[in-house]
C-alpha cells in the first residue's frame, strides 16, 4: 500500500552535505491532499478564493508537468502555466532557467489533481530527496530554498502543505512538517514560521532559523486578463531581528514609492 512515508522512504538516498549546515535541508514528498492520499494529512490543500486557476492551452499534461522552454518560445503564456514540481526555480523563457535541475516528479496514487480553483494530492521527487539551494534575499542574506510550483490565478491563494523534511545527516529518516502558505511580508510579521515537526519536536536549526512555505507573487496580463502568479517555495530562513525587519520594511516601502 502506498503512503506518503513509504513513497519517500523507498526512494531515499544519502544526503550531500553543503556549507552552512544549520540552514541546509532536503525534502521528499509534498502533501496537499487533505487526507485523500493514503497517509496524507487532513487539513492540507491549495485553494483559490474568489477566482480560478489559469491553465495554458499548450500545457504539459499532468499536474506535475513542467512547461518546456522550447514551448515557451512558441507560446509565451506557457511560462505562466500552473504546475507543481520540486526544483530550483520556475522554467523561464530562454536564456533563463530551463528546468534541467529537476530529476523527475510524480503524483502519489489517490491524488485528484487540479480543479478550476483547487488542488488535492501529493507529489514527490524521483529517485531521491532534493537538496535546497542557497540564494540571496535582500535585507536578509543567504537563504536555502526549493521551488514547489507555480499557481497562476485570478483570486487569492490559500493553502497548507505538509512535507517530508530532512536536516543534514537525517536521510533516509525524516521529519514531517506542516505549515500555511504565507507571503514574504506575512513571514516578516511573524506568520508561517515553522520551528518544530508535526510531533512537536524542535528542528535542529532552531532557534536561530525557521522553515516557511513562502508564496512569491506578482501580476501578469494574459490575453487582457490580469492574473496573480504565485510561486511557491519552502525556505529555511533566519529569524529576523528588529534591525533586519526594519530594513525589509524600508526596502519594501522604497520599492513601492519607485513603482508609483
Query: In the structure, what pLDDT confidence band is assigned to residue 137 with cuts at 50, 70 and 90?
Result: low
Mean pLDDT lowest among 86-95, 128-137, 151-160, 249-258 = 249-258
Confidence of residue 159 (pLDDT cuts 50, 70, 90): very high
> In this model, does residue 167 exceed pLDDT 80?
yes
Domain that holds residue 92: 4-259
Q: Which pLDDT score, from 0 to 100, does residue 20 have?
A: 37
E-strand ranges in 93-140 read 105-107, 113-114, 118-125, 130-131, 133-137
Q: What is the pLDDT of residues 40-49, one digit of tens each?
A: 999 999 999 9
pLDDT tens digit sequence for 170-228: 888 899 999 999 999 999 999 999 999 999 999 999 888 999 999 999 999 999 999 99
pLDDT at 139: 65
Is pLDDT of 246 > 60? no
Cell numbers for 20, please give them. 552552512
pLDDT of res. 12: 41
The percentage of residues in the chain with a pLDDT greater than 70, rounded to a whole number, is: 82
More confident residue, 13 or 229: 229
Q: What is the CA radius of gyration of the chain?
A: 18
Dist CA 257 CA 10 (whole Å):
51
- The average pLDDT across 134-144 equals 76
Instruction: Please give the sequence-ordered ranges of beta strands (E in DSSP) within 97-174, or none if there are none.
Output: 105-107, 113-114, 118-125, 130-131, 133-137, 141-153, 156-166
Contacts by 5-12, CB closer than 8 A, 24 or more apart: 5/39, 5/164, 5/176, 6/39, 7/108, 7/122, 7/124, 8/124, 8/129, 8/164, 8/174, 9/172, 11/124, 11/125, 11/126, 11/127, 11/128, 11/129, 12/128, 12/129, 12/171, 12/172, 12/174
Helix (H, G, I), strand (E, B) or coil at 245: helix
Q: CB–CB of 43/189 below 8 Å? A: no
Checking if the pLDDT of 19 tops 60, the result is: no
Asked if the model's pLDDT at residue 242 lies above 80, the reply is no
Total domains in the chain come to 1
Contacts of 167 (CB under 8 A, 6+ apart): 24, 25, 175, 203, 204, 205
How does pLDDT run across 34-76, given as a tens digit for each residue?
A: 999 999 999 999 999 999 999 999 887 789 989 999 999 999 9
Give the highest mean pLDDT range of 6-20, 89-103, 222-236.
222-236
**pLDDT the model gives residue 103:** 76
Provide the percentage of residues in the chain whose pLDDT is more than 90.
Answer: 70
Q: Report whether 68 contacts 81 (CB < 8 A).
A: no
Confidence at 102, pLDDT banded by 50, 70, 90: confident
Amino acid at each position: 500500500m502506498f503512503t506518503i512515508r513509504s513513497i519517500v522512504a523507498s526512494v531515499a538516498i544519502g544526503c550531500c552535505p553543503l556549507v552552512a549546515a544549520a540552514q541546509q535541508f532536503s525534502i521528499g514528498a509534498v502533501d496537499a491532499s487533505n487526507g485523500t492520499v493514503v497517509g496524507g494529512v487532513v487539513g492540507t490543500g491549495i485553494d483559490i478564493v474568489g477566482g480560478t486557476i489559469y491553465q495554458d492551452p499548450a500545457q504539459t499534461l499532468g499536474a506535475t508537468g513542467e512547461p518546456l522552454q522550447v514551448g515557451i518560445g512558441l507560446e509565451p503564456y506557457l511560462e505562466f502555466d500552473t504546475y507543481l514540481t520540486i526544483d530550483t526555480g520556475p522554467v523561464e523563457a530562454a536564456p533563463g532557467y530551463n528546468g534541467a535541475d529537476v530529476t523527475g516528479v510524480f503524483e502519489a496514487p489517490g491524488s485528484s489533481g487540479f480543479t478550476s480553483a483547487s488542488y488535492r494530492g501529493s507529489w514527490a521527487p524521483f529517485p531521491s530527496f532534493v537538496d535546497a539551494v542557497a540564494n540571496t534575499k535582500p535585507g536578509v542574506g543567504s537563504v536555502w530554498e526549493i521551488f514547489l510550483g507555480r499557481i497562476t490565478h485570478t483570486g487569492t491563494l490559500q493553502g497548507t502543505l505538509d512535507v517530508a523534511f530532512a536536516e543534514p545527516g537525517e536521510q533516509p529518516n525524516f521529519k514531517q512538517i506542516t505549515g500555511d502558505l504565507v507571503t514574504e511580508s506575512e513571514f516578516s510579521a511573524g506568520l508561517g514560521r515553522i520551528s518544530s515537526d508535526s510531533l512537536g519536536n524542535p528542528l535542529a536549526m532552531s532557534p536561530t532559523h525557521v522553515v516557511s512555505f513562502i508564496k512569491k507573487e506578482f501580476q501578469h496580463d494574459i490575453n487582457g486578463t490580469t492574473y496573480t502568479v504565485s510561486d511557491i517555495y519552502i525556505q529555511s530562513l533566519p529569524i529576523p531581528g528588529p534591525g533586519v525587519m526594519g530594513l525589509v520594511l524600508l526596502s519594501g516601502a522604497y520599492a513601492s514609492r519607485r513603482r508609483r
